[in-house]
Amino acid sequence: MLPTPQRFRIKSFGCQMNVYDGERMAELLGDAGMTAAGDGEDADLVVLNTCHIREKAAEKAYSDVGRLRRGDGSRPLIALAGCVAQAEGRVAMARSKMIDIVVGPQAYHRLPEMVAEARTGARPIDTDLPGLAKFGALPKLRRAVPSAFLTVQEGCDKFCTYCVVPYTRGAEISRPFAAVIGEAHGLVEAGAREIVLLGQNVNAWNDGDRGLDALIRELARIDGLERIRYTTSHPADMSGALIAAHGEVAKLMPYLHLPVQSGSDRILKRMNRSHSADSYVRTIERVRAARSDIAISGDFIVGFPGETEADFEATLNIVDAVGYAAAYSFKYSSRPGTPAATMEDQIPPEIMDDRLQRLQGRLAEHGRAFNHACIGRDTRILIDRVGRKPGQMIGKSPWLQSVFVETAARIGDMLDVRLTDALPNSLGGVTLARAQAA
Ligand code: SAH
Ligand code: SF4
Ligand code: F3S
C-alpha cells in the first residue's frame, strides 16, 4: 500500500470549464489534507485535467503522462481527468500503465476516495455522467481571484457534426438558480469582483421559466460584484431577453463570444449548426442595437470536409460583415465517433494551413481596428496582474482587452483610466486622474 499523497499538482488544459473544475478539485484535495505543490516542487499526486476537442490536445494528455516518470524511475500517483478521461476511460488505462485513476468531469467529488483506492493498487475508473452531483459536494471557497469562473451549465445537446463535447460532457444540464446565486455570494465574499458564468452552451441555461438574463439580473444586485460576463454562447440560444439585458444591466460587460464556425450556409448545414450566415449577422445587429459598443468575438473552423474556396471566401465575408474584436480559429480536426469524421471530401492539410493563415490575417486586421477605435476613451479597468516594468499594473477593460498602466493601484482594484495606445495584443493607458491633470 502506497502512503497517502502529501502534495498534489493539477494541470488543466482546454476550456475555462476545466479551469473551474481544476480549482474545485484543488479545494477538495486541500480539504482531504493535501497541499498544492509549489513551482518546481515535487508532487506525489498529479491530476491531468485534459481536453479532447482536437487530436493534438488529446494526444498531449498521453505525452504528459509519460513525462511524469522521474529520473530515478519512480513516479507520482497519476489521475487522468477531464474530457480525454471521459472519452477514453478504460482504453486510456490500457494504453498507459502509468495511469492510476480515470475520473470523468461529472465525478470529481469522488476524487479523494478514488485516491485512497488507488493507494491499494486498484485502478479506479468513474466516467458516469450523473449530472449535478459534483457541484453539491464542493467545499467552501476561502480566497477567490478578482475575476472568478462559475460554471452554471454543462453538456451540450447540439451535436455539431465535428464536435466531441456532447460525448465528453453529456447532455445539457443547468444548475439551479439558488445554487448559482449562493456560490456567487461566496465568491464575492472571498474577494471576486467579476464573475464569468461558464457553460458549453451557457445561454441555454434555465431554471423553470427563468433564463440566463434573469440570472444575470439577480447577480447584478450583489453588492461588491462589479462585473458579469458569460461564455460560451450558441447563436440559436441568443434570446431577446438576453439581448435586452445587454442594454439594461450596467454590470454586464459589453463583450459577447458567439461562435459562427463558418460563413457558408452549405457548410453550416453539414456542420449541423442551426443558424445561417444571415441569421447570425442579424443576431449581431440586434445585440449591437441594444449595446452599440459591444465587442464581438467568435470561433472559426477552416477545412471542414467539403469546404470549397467559395465556402471559405464566405467565411472571410462574414468576418468583414461582423468586424470581430477578437477570435479563435482552428483547422478542422477529425474526431473519432463524430459524423464529420466519415464524411467525404476531407480537406488536405496544406489547404487548411493556407486558409487558416488567410483567415487569421483578416481577423488580426479587425482586432487591430477595434483596439485603435478605443484610443481616447475614458473607461474603468479591473486590475488583475502585476506588469513587468516597475510601477506597472495590468487590468481588463470592459471589452476584455489587457490595459497596461502605471499606478499604485493593486490587484482587485477598479481603476479609472484613459486609453492612450494600441499595442498588437493590448492597450496602454494612463490613470484618469493623471490624464486630466496633464
Ligand atoms: N460550446 C462552444 C465551444 C465548443 S469547443 C460552442 O459551441 O461554441 C470550442 C471551439 O472549438 C468550437 O467553437 C470550435 O470552433 C472548435 N472545435 C470544436 N471541435 C473541433 C474540431 N473537431 N476541429 C477543430 N475545431 C473544433
Ligand atoms: Fe460542440 Fe456544437 Fe455543442 Fe458547441 S454547440 S459544444 S461546437 S456540439
Ligand atoms: Fe476540451 Fe472538454 Fe472543454 S474537450 S474544450 S476540455 S469541454
Residue pLDDT, tens place only, 321-367: 999 999 999 999 999 999 999 999 999 999 999 999 999 999 999 99
**Proximal ligand: closest to the CA of 154:** 3
pLDDT of amino acid 140: 67
The pLDDT > 90 percentage for the chain reads 92
Please report the DSSP string for 34-69 in residue order. Answer: -EE--TT---SEEEEEE--SSHHHHHHHHHHHHTT-
Atom of ligand 3 nearest to the CA of 50: 6
The CA 85 to ligand 3 mean position distance, Å, reads: 11
**φ and ψ of 170, to 5 deg:** 80, -170
What is the CB neighbour count within 10 angstroms for residue 386?
A: 13
**Rounded Cα gap, residues 29 and 33, in angstroms:** 7
pLDDT of amino acid 143: 75
Coil vs helix vs strand at 207: strand
pLDDT of amino acid 40: 85
The CA 34 to ligand 2 mean position distance, Å, reads: 36
Residue pLDDT, tens place only, 138-171: 666 767 789 999 999 999 999 999 999 999 999 9
DSSP E strand boundaries for 188-294: 194-198, 206-207, 210-211, 227-231, 255-257
The pLDDT > 70 percentage for the chain reads 99
User: Mean pLDDT over all residues of the chain?
Assistant: 95
The CA 15 to ligand 3 mean position distance, Å, reads: 5
Measured from the CB, is residue 18 less than 6 Å from ligand 3?
yes
Q: Which of 237, 299, 331 most suits a substitution to test ligand 1, by most atoms within 8 Å of the C-beta?
A: 299
Measured from the CB, is residue 53 less than 6 Å from ligand 2?
no
pLDDT at 368 over 70: yes
The CA 165 to ligand 2 mean position distance, Å, reads: 6
Residue pLDDT, tens place only, 186-244: 999 999 999 999 999 999 999 999 999 999 999 999 999 999 999 999 999 999 999 99
Please give the distance of CA 178 from its chain centroid, rounded to a whole number: 23
Average pLDDT over residues 65-71: 93
pLDDT at 41 over 80: yes
Contact (CB, 8 A) for 13 and 77:
no
| 268 membership: H or E segment, kind and range | helix 265-270
pLDDT at 1 over 90: no
Measured from the CB, is residue 156 less than 6 Å from ligand 2?
yes
pLDDT at 423 over 80: yes
The CA 204 to ligand 2 mean position distance, Å, reads: 12
